Amino acid sequence: MIKGSPAGRTARLARVAGADRPERVLIAASFVNRVGNGLFNAASALYFTLIVGLSAVQVGSALTLAGLVGLFAGIPGGHLADRRGARTVMMLALAVQAVSMSALVLVESWTALTVLATVDQIAAAVGGAAAGALVARVGTDRPALFRAKLRTFVNLGVIFGTVGSGLAVATDTRGAYVALILGNAASFALCALLLLLLPNYPVLPPPPRERRRPAFSDGAYLTFTALYGAMGLQYSAVSLLLPIWISQHTEAPRWTVAAVFAVNAAFCVLLQTRIGSRIETPQEGGRAFRNAGLLFLVSCPMMALAAYTPVWAAAGLLVAAIFVHSLGEIWESSAGFALGFGLAPDHAQGQYQGLLGLGFNAGQALAPAILTTVVLGLGTAGWLLLAGFFAALGAAGPAVARWGVRTRPQPAVAMEAAG
């Protein structure tokens, strides 16, 4: 039972969901959007192969091509958000996604899928960069706490959507799959409408004589972008590499795959705000990035060792490994918030977030090839190599943070460096 007066309970609930109205609005909009993503992402490949009748190769090539084109839309989209307003650009991108997603129910050919998926990915990249700029404007008082809460609710939204997707997959009818696609389209539209409740934040002018694309001349930020993109392989290590490893190299029951996903999602939802709210400055972000690498250094060998243990010991070891890995994921995402937002100038947040998104998405695009050939091909040695790779990336975090703080022109960050 929750004790205290009704006013006290309301205040506590408000703190959980956001400190003020703009925070609560953006959290609600992001939650709705991610519920839709969860509905669609888990069942999209099945719809296009089983219902539309395209081959797996056709679906994969269409989505890969769309993703590659979309990679390069984030930076110009972010620059547009900086100059025309993040809320406006994000709403337009969401509207485009709502239309392109709705049109997927009419797809009957590879060409149509490729065109619509490409439009969707371009809009997603533009909207993602604009969303980053909007997050920076909304979470001004306690940015780390707000971003941690935002990620908590985003993860929760994906979980709800994935559950709904599972019900539709179990039904396995065209109507069920179409409902998922249209549900995702509706989530984009509703998210855009919710953004109307946000203030229309004024555009911040750039300083005189600044380069048109300052992010490309920012050595510290470019370096962190590369490190962050490479560290992003840890997501595919859980979603792609680990299920294959469990099914082909361990004696753990098959349900262990679902169990590790559930543990990963649960711990990220439960612990993100508690840990992430303490990581606010770039220096704290650098240390958090190092801690993430050390946690992955522990979790990856634990996953590898599951191949050498009996059935139930393997299952227990994998659950323990995913707990350690989830802690690393939380530290890594918190580092991304602290450095990705903290080192970007306020007037160019969209452009900088577009650059960071480009690095991350490039790493995600390369992850399947790297993990299934190099790591899986080498077996246990591949897992150990991956662990060392993550630890080396993390070790560079504090140095990059010091470099970034030292080279920031903003007075507030310069004072932090002096301190």
Amino acid identity of 343? L
> E-assigned strands of 40-116?
none
Angle at 184 between CA 229 and CA 134, to 5 degrees: 50
Residue 211 predicted with pLDDT over 80: no
Residue type, 105: V
- pLDDT digit string, tens, across residues 335-378: 999 999 999 998 899 999 999 999 999 998 888 888 888 888 89
More confident residue, 17 or 2: 17
Q: What is the DSSP string of 181-199?
A: HHHHHHHHHHHHHHHTTS-
Integer Cα distance of 361 and 358 in angstroms: 5
What CATH number was assigned to the domain covering residues 214-418? Answer: 1.20.1250.20
pLDDT at 413 over 50: no
Q: Which CATH architecture has domain 14-195?
A: Up-down Bundle (1.20)
- Angstrom distances, CA of residue 46 to CA of 176, 180, 240, 278, 359: 12, 12, 17, 41, 29
Q: Which residue has the higher pLDDT, 60 or 417?
A: 60
Measure the CA–CA gap between 365 and 233, rounded to whole angstroms: 10
> Residue 193: pLDDT band by 50, 70, 90 thresholds?
very high
User: What tens digit of pLDDT does each residue of 263-320 get?
Assistant: 888 888 899 989 998 998 999 999 999 999 999 999 999 999 999 999 889 999 999 9
Which contacts qualify for 19-24: CB closer than 8 Å, 24 or more apart?
Answer: 19/141, 19/142, 19/145, 19/146, 21/197, 22/138, 22/198, 22/199, 23/138, 23/139, 23/146, 23/149
The token duo for 332 is 């890594």
What global pTM score does this model have?
A: 0.84
Question: In this structure, which amino acid lies at residue 78?
Answer: G
Question: Does 39 score more than 90 pLDDT?
Answer: no
Cα 247 to Cα 238: distance, rounded to the nearest angstrom: 13
Tokens at 107, concatenated = 């797809």
The rounded distance, in Å, linking the Cα atoms of 303 and 326 is 13
In the block, residue with structure tokens 């997707």: 165
DSSP label at residue 179: H
In angstroms, the CA 28 to CA 26 distance is 5
pLDDT (0 to 100) of residue 369:
85
CATH 1.20.1250.20: which residues of the chain? 14-195, 214-418
Could you tell me how far CA 72 lies from the centroid of its own chain? 17
Indicate the pLDDT class of residue 17, thresholds 50, 70 and 90: low
**pLDDT of the residue at 16:** 53
CA angle 130, 136, 138 (to 5 degrees): 100
Lowest-pLDDT range of 35-49, 94-108, 221-235: 35-49
Q: Report the phi/psi class of residue 27: left, alpha or beta, with left for phi > 0 and alpha for psi in -120 to 50.
A: alpha
Answer left, alpha or beta for residue 41, where phi above 0 means left and psi between -120 and 50 means alpha.
Answer: alpha
Q: Which residues contact 274 (CB under 8 A, 6 or more apart)?
A: none
Cβ pair 283, 403 in contact under 8 A:
no
